[in-house]
Amino acid sequence: MSGEEEENAAELKIGDDFLKAKCLMNCEVSLILEHKYEQLQQMSDDPMNQVSQVFEKSLQYVKRFSRYKNPDAVRQVREILSRYQLAEFELCVLGNLCPETVEEAIAMVPSIKTKGRAHDDEAIDKMLNDLSLIKKFE
Amino acid sequence: MFLKVQLPWNVIIPAENLDAKGLMLQRSIVVCLLDDFAKKRATKDLGYYLAVSTLESIGEGKVRPQTGDVLFPVVFSGITFKIFRGEILEGVVHKVLKHGVLLKCGPIENIYLSSLKMPGYRYVPGENPVFLNDKTSKIGKDVAVRFIVLGTKWLEAEREFQALVSLEGDYLGPVS
């Protein structure tokens, strides 16, 4: 009945609210949370006691699953992916999983190949190439 | 997926914290908001509440009758984490059971990958039990795994999400 039952991120059905919402890549979240944590460290001797469990677990997670650590590289990843007419959600999945081949990229984000969208294999290949260059020069 | 959301919120400042004006009042509002935010933990719609990033606006305070507390409507931006059906994510195995493994991903710890959804893998018992396949891929404790989300469930009482995930699909499985 509700949109919820049809939710399927693979087809980019995640609800209108979320489609418009800004998504964040793991590496972006990592920068934000680490900055917050440093601020707390300056104010208290035991910063881990000051943060919620949700914060602590998320920080651990994004530290392990960030492909890019350097703030400039993180900014460039978003800039490059923004040139390819992707939904916010798709952009972040690509930035998080860093697929190496066109086939892998389509498996991770099947919605980029749906009808009426302008992504041919060549465009996707160029996008992945740009991404791997950032990683190389980080 | 981590989301950047803008949320309206009502902050209630107790009457006894109201004597100071200006900056001190703003400080009380921020402290109160951060406290409420951490306590809220998660909601069904937006997922887990991670952090407040900026306070966008503070509306006009309204005095509440009887108590004398003042309610301030505020708007702020924050970060949340929500898991979607069909989404592909990476997580870490934290428990190996006979019939599957439990993974954690961001703030969520109850992510179940059943052995029925790990085609080609078989359970190998021992002190450190693992799931192995013919290509010597290993799924054991602390291994990172890429999976697809089959379904999610919100538990209102615990304010937690649970998810069922699968490895059926291309490019899914343990990652180095």
DSSP string, B89-155: EEEEEEEEETTEEEEEETTEEEEEEEGGGSTT-EEE-SSS-EEE-TT--EE-TT-EEEEEEEEEEEE
Mean pLDDT of B83-96: 97
8 A C-beta contact, residue B106 and residue A58 = yes
Q: Does A66 touch chain B (CB under 8 A)?
A: no
pLDDT of residue A10: 85
Tens digits of residue pLDDT in B46-83: 999 999 988 999 999 999 998 889 999 999 999 999 99
Nearest chain B residue to A5 by CA distance is: B85
pLDDT of residue B94: 98
Domains of chain B (ranges, CATH numbers): 2-81 (3.30.1490.120), 88-175 (2.40.50.140)
Mean pLDDT of A3-29: 82
Token pair, residue A18, equals 């979320």
pLDDT of A17 > 80? The answer is no
pLDDT of residue B170: 95
pLDDT of A91 > 50? The answer is yes
Residue B84 CB neighbour total at 10 angstroms: 21
pLDDT band at residue A103 using 50, 70 and 90 as cut-offs: very high
Q: Which residues of A touch B42 (CB under 8 A)?
A: 54
Q: Which residues of A touch B170 (CB under 8 A)?
A: 103-104, 107
Tens digits of residue pLDDT in A29-77: 999 999 999 988 887 777 777 788 999 999 999 999 999 999 999 999 9
Cβ-defined contact of A8 to B50 (cutoff 8 Å): no
pLDDT of B19 > 90? The answer is no
Q: Which residues of B touch A62 (CB under 8 A)?
A: 2, 106
Nearest chain A residue to B39 by CA distance is: A52
Residue B13 has, within 13 A of its CA and on its CB side, a CA count of 23
Of chain B, the percentage scoring pLDDT greater than 90 comes to: 77
Cβ-defined contact of B2 to A26 (cutoff 8 Å): yes
Mean pLDDT of A90-117: 91
Q: Which of A24, A53, A104 sits opposite B2 (nearest CB)?
A: A24
Q: Which residues of A touch B148 (CB under 8 A)?
A: 10
Q: Against a cut of 0.95, is the pTM above it? A: no
CA distance B81 to chain A (A): 9
Domains of chain A (ranges, CATH numbers): 71-137 (1.20.1250.40)
pLDDT of residue B15: 81
Task: Write down the ipTM of this complex.
Answer: 0.90
pLDDT of residue A2: 45
* B139/B161 Cα distance (integer angstroms): 23
The span from the first CA to the last CA of chain B, in angstroms, equals 21
Report the length, in residues, of chain A: 138
Beta pairing class for B47-58 and B42-43: antiparallel
Q: Does A95 touch chain B (CB under 8 A)?
A: no
Q: Which of A39-43, A66-70, A106-110, B126-130 has the lowest mean pLDDT?
A: A39-43
CA distance B161 to chain A (A): 12
Beta pairing class for B160-166 and B108-114: parallel
Q: Which residues of A touch B1 (CB under 8 A)?
A: 23, 89, 92-93
Token pair, residue A118, equals 């302008």
pLDDT of residue B148: 98
Contacts of B20 (CB under 8 A, 6+ apart): B28
